[in-house]
Structure 1
Amino acid sequence: MVITKTMAHNHNHQINSGRIAGAASSSSSFGNLKRVVGMPLAVVLFSIIFFFKIPSCFSQLTRLEHQVKDDGSLSLLVVGDWGRRGHFNQTIVASQMGRIGKELDIDFVVSTGDNFYDDGLKGPHDPAFEESFTEVYTADSLQKPWYTILGNHDYRGKIVVGHHAIRSAGHHGDTEELIQHLLPILKANNVDLYVNGHDHCLEHISSHDSPIQYLTSGAGSKAWRGDTKKYDERVMKFFYDGQGFMSMQLTNANVEVLFHDVLGQVLHRWKVSKDLHSSM
């Protein structure tokens, strides 16, 4: 698998086994990614989106290679809004992530943002990094690359991962700027899944005007806000206000998404076994 990641103002990092490594930059574009037919390859495209610079968000990419499993599959966990020094059940969620990660033999972890509360890291030696990350996500199965930026994963389909929700019934609700500026781009590029954090909940919202599924995984620690917004029941497939995380298994033609609570129990399962949008 080829993993592609952008760098913007040196704020994007790969977290791997307790270390942060900045990404270098190279030239590429969203529309130039090609799937190699018949080869067990997948493409992961990570990029930061700023509301005021959305059209240029797919430039300056760095490529990392990651081989898929022998059966052509790829497994990962998704968690967001977690960095609270183990409080608000962060350590319990991390423990269950370790268990599920071992069962799925995950390849990497995607973080949907808000990684260090309340004001981020103050420098390279800030103890919050150890207290909120290294000392919390200790399971062997989690000692894999952690990607913390917006992404597009190509598995005969496309996934975009960002921090703010496009559609959400949680505390922050829909993000009008993303609906206006980003959603048309996702539709034009036949994106299948948009994954985000920001709202401290787990949710699955479908779409009545496109195949896009909106998946929120922002419940890595503090949750239970209790201010759920009313939402169209025709598209609201699942909502949970408590802590947890999401797991995902991908093959060339299938995707299965599971939402887990703080004890690792499956709360909601969504699977599609058809050919998704063809690769770019």
Structure 2
Amino acid sequence: MKKIFLATIICFNLTLAFGQVTPFEYEKQTGYKGKNIPDLTYIEDSYSFLVLGDFGRVGDYYQQDVARELGHATIALEAEFIVSVGDNFYPNGVASTTDYHWISSFETIYKDPSLYTDWYVALGNHDYRGNVQAQIDYSNISRRWNMPARYYSKTFEVNDNEKLLLIVMDTNPYIDSYHEDPEKYTGIAGQDTAKQTQWLTEQLQTDDPQVKWKIVVGHHPLYSGGKRKESEDTKLFEKKFADLFDQHQVDAYICGHEHDLQIIKPQGRFTTQFLSGAASEVRASGNREGTIFAAAESGFMAFSIVDGKILVQTVRANETGAKVLHKYELTK
């Protein structure tokens, strides 16, 4: 009886403390060994998720640094889930659900306890060089890996009367140049883009009045100030989807492919693009018309929804730790 009484007092004290401190400070009280990201803004009662991309390099480049700080941010923000924008395994995807890449580039890298939450994963061009079906099937093996199909959607309840519609595209079949090399991009020729576009449009036309936010995830960018700024693939992808996203008032398009961090909203556009493809390798970045932020830094982005706003924090993560480089607010 004495032990039960003592345990009750301890739990009660921790509950009281949690009401007075941040999620990170609470976790430290209970034994968490990770570090905080001091300039990362936590908003009470917010609904948060994290975004990274282009990561699977057996822990090399900056992958382990980003993974470490991603775990710290998940704790600090009480993040609900994680989004990967694709290129999950370099250089040529995975061969099967038992490919060692799952261990060397995912399971043993993202090992902070907070990262055993739901991951919603998109396909990148390097994933198409391997067995795409194996990445889909791994959803039945892993508790955290979610890829039920090449493209899919999920609705999240942000609060009692506000929902987030997350749509994960497979952008690879829309890149015309990939069809010129079908042996390199396995199964690309068999993908029905008209069917996916119809599905995408139907998803965006949701009649659920509680859906306040529409976010689309895909691998390829609509715009870039980096390596692919003048790429014909990028320009054609913009022509295929920028107007559609604006028409259906997509609040954010989240992507990668470029190995840097960018936020772009061209003049006259409704949709803001958030490019987070710097979870391992980093390349030179740059500006273009509509660039709000660009950095050739390794890291990720954090999205926090509260009171009709989304706070987007861009976080640098390297061997020295983490630092918030930029904060941007989407408002309704």
CA distance in 2, matches of 1:248, 1:260: 11
Correspondence for 2:325 among 267, 275, 278: 267
Correspondence for 2:220 among 141, 164, 168: 164
Pair 1:108–1:237, CA change in 2 (3 A): same
- 1:219 aligned partner, one-letter code: A
User: What does 1:129-148 correspond to in 2, within 5 Å?
Assistant: 129-148=102-121
User: What does 1:193-232 correspond to in 2, within 5 Å?
Assistant: 193-223=252-282, 225-226=283-284, 228-232=285-289
CA distance in 2, matches of 1:252, 1:80: 28
- 1:267 aligned partner, one-letter code: L
Pair 1:176–1:142, CA change in 2 (3 A): same
CA distance in 1, matches of 2:45, 2:325: 27
Higher alpha-carbon deviation: 120-129 or 207-216: 207-216
What is the deviation of 1:158? 1.5
Does the 8 Å contact 2:82/2:119 carry over to 1? yes
**TM-score under structure 2 length normalisation:** 0.57
**TM-score under structure 1 length normalisation:** 0.67
CA distance in 1, matches of 2:315, 2:89: 22
What is the deviation of 1:187? 1.1
Choose between structure 1 and 2 for higher RCO, CA contacts under 8 A separated by at least 6 residues. Answer: 1
What is the deviation of 1:207? 2.3
What is the deviation of 1:210? 2.0
Correspondence for 1:77 among 50, 56, 59: 50
CA distances 1:9-50 after superposition (whole Å, capped 9, x unpaired): xxxxxxxxxxxxxxxxxxxxxxxxxxxxxxxxxxxxxxxxxx
- 1:86 aligned partner, one-letter code: G
Q: Is 1:258–2:313 an aligned residue pair?
A: yes
Higher alpha-carbon deviation: 206-215 or 194-203: 206-215
Correspondence for 1:238 among 293, 302, 311: 293
Looking at secondary structure, tell me which structure has more helix per residue: 2
What is the identity percentage for the equivalent residue pairs of Structure 1 and Structure 2? 31
Correspondence for 1:105 among 78, 102, 107: 78
**What is the DSSP-based 3-state SS (H/G/I as helix, E as strand, rest coil) of the residue aligned with 2:322?**
coil
Does the 8 Å contact 1:97/1:264 carry over to 2? no
Does the 8 Å contact 1:113/1:163 carry over to 2? yes
Q: Which residue of 2 aligns with 1:116?
A: 89
Unaligned runs of 5+ residues in structure 2 are 1-43, 123-150, 155-163, 166-210
CA distance in 1, matches of 2:83, 2:47: 13
CA distance in 2, matches of 1:110, 1:170: 22
CA distance in 2, matches of 1:229, 1:106: 30
User: What does 1:35-50 correspond to in 2, within 5 Å?
Assistant: none
Does the 8 Å contact 1:100/1:264 carry over to 2? no
CA distance in 2, matches of 1:83, 1:123: 15
CA distances 1:154-175 after superposition (whole Å, capped 9, x unpaired): 3512111110000111112361
Unaligned runs of 5+ residues in structure 1 are 1-70
- 1:270 aligned partner, one-letter code: Y
CA distance in 1, matches of 2:247, 2:292: 24
Does the 8 Å contact 2:54/2:85 carry over to 1? yes
CA distance in 2, matches of 1:215, 1:196: 6
What is the deviation of 1:211? 2.4
Alpha-carbon RMSD across the aligned residues, in angstroms, is: 1.8
**What is the DSSP-based 3-state SS (H/G/I as helix, E as strand, rest coil) of the residue aligned with 1:156?**
strand
Does the 8 Å contact 2:286/2:294 carry over to 1? no
Pair 1:129–1:217, CA change in 2 (3 A): same
- 2:64 aligned partner, one-letter code: T
What is the deviation of 1:230? 4.9
Whichever of the two has the greater Rg, that structure is: 2
Q: Which residue of 2 aligns with 1:177?
A: 236
Structure 1 stretches of 4+ with a deviation exceeding 6 A read none
**What is the DSSP-based 3-state SS (H/G/I as helix, E as strand, rest coil) of the residue aligned with 1:181?**
helix
